[in-house]
Amino acid sequence: MTPDDHPQSAALDDAEAAYLERRAESLTELGADPDERAVEAALRPRSLDEVIGQHRVREQLSLVLEAARSRERTPDHVLLSGPPGLGKTTLAMIIAAEMSRPLRLTSGPAITHAGDLAAILSGLNEGDVLFVDEIHRMSRPAEEMLYLAMEDFRVDVIIGKGPGATAIPLEIPPFTLVGATTRAGLLPGPLRDRFGFTAHLEFYEPAELDEIVRRSAGLLGVPADPEGTAEIASRSRGTPRIANRLLRRVRDYAQVRSDGVVTRDIAHRALDLFEVDHSGLDRLDRAVLDVLCRRFGGGPVGVSTLAVAVGEERETVEEVAEPFLVRVGMLARTPRGRVATPGAWTHLGLSAPAGAPFAVDETLFEAD
């Protein structure tokens, strides 16, 4: 196989199509239809200045990019980690935009063979930004090829099979890899170490989410009063994507049941209807707590068991529900399994049975 047999642009298009399809699927799981995806894209900040919150990451990134610009070099590889919907894809797009370079998109699951990656890499131009979403799901051989590409801007393309196989080294132009992962812990050390800069995205504060909701309401032309946006922000699980989604649901409610203005009362009623509680917990979050407390007496229980009990994939429980429950102090991860904290019992309106295995954390001491 020569590169001519396998036009690189076609391979890239395939990778992009596969990437977009997967993203579409996971967004559908999150309840978005194609229209909503278009809205989500329209709400994405386009430059670092437009990004709300994440001050530290923004400052660090802006420094890395500015330094690269002034040296006229491609910036170091960047790893973005954090729970879904906090802005990893947004930042990847911004990195390319700030460097005035095209962004190539692909994702770990789309790269099943090292050859897929070789095709993508050999199609890059100098300075391109290659975004690999869900980089922790890449196949092992592709990962090993990526080590070499990141460090030496070179890949070994294997031609043929068995004893007759030969490795042909292929130079690739300097590029910037931007990897995104919801599970930095699953990345092998050698891969993690090859990123020059790692940004951990944190959940957003209510005031930041409020700013995001106000910005989005402005862009969507939705009239909203400050108490209305604050109510949405406080129930958004610290997550911009959720804030934007809740805004759209509240807007629907306001249009159909009221005069179209998002007020606190309208937000309140709409979010109750969509089963988002006052702490921002959604059905899955509550299901996890419910099973943990009612069926397993507060734990400890393994995450796989928990996932089966709520009828979800283990990854969804681990990557979507748990980080927020941990953050709000309702769930603790212990070596023996997941444990409900006193906050979880209170939230469910239950009293913990005597001997419930509370994890030792500050909430225990504060409660005294």
Ligand X SMILES: Nc1ncnc2c1ncn2[C@@H]1O[C@H](COP(=O)(O)OP(=O)(O)OP(=O)(O)O)[C@@H](O)[C@H]1O
Annotated binding site: 43-44, 85, 88-90, 151-153, 194, 204, 241, 314, 333, 338
Residue 331, SS3? strand
How far is 164 from 241, CA to CA, in rounded Å?
51
Pick out residues in 202-221 that bind ligand X (CB under 6 A): 212
Closer of 175 and 203 to ligand X (Cβ):
203
Tokens of 29: 């799981």
Q: What is the per-residue binding string for ligand X in 35-54, x denoting contact by CB under 6 A?
A: -----x--xxx-----xxxx
Reading the block at residue 329, the tokens are 């102090």
Residue with nearest beta carbon to Mg ion: 89
Residues 152-211 that bind ligand X (CB under 6 A): 182
Residue 107 binding target from ligand X, Mg ion, none, CB below 5 to 8 Å by type: none
198 interacts with, out of Mg ion, ligand X, none, CB within 5 to 8 A per kind: none
Annotated active-site residue 237? The verdict is no
Smaller CB distance to Mg ion: residue 89 or 122? Answer: 89
Instruction: Enumerate binding residues for Mg ion (CB under 5 A).
Output: 88-89
CB hemisphere CA count around 116 (13 angstroms): 22
Residues comprising the binding site for Mg(2+)?
89
Of residues 214, 187, 213, the one with CA closest to residue 200: 187
241 binds ligand X (CB under 6 A): yes
Binding region for DNA: 314, 333, 338
167-173, Cβ contacts within 8 angstroms, sequence gap of 24 or more = 170/118, 170/122, 172/121, 172/122, 172/124, 173/124, 173/125, 173/126, 173/127, 173/128
What are the start-end ranges of the H helices in 274-333? 283-290, 303-310, 314-316, 322-327
What CA–CA distance (Å, rounded) separates 241 from 83? Answer: 11
CA–CA–CA angle 95, 96, 102 (5° rounding): 170
Q: Site mask, ligand X, residues 308-337, x = CB under 6 A?
A: ------------------------------
Give the nearest distance from C-beta 51 to Mg ion in angstroms: 14
Catalytically active residues are: 88-89, 133, 182, 241
Residues lying near ligand X in the complex (CB under 6 A) are found at 40, 43-45, 51-54, 84-90, 182, 212, 240-241, 244
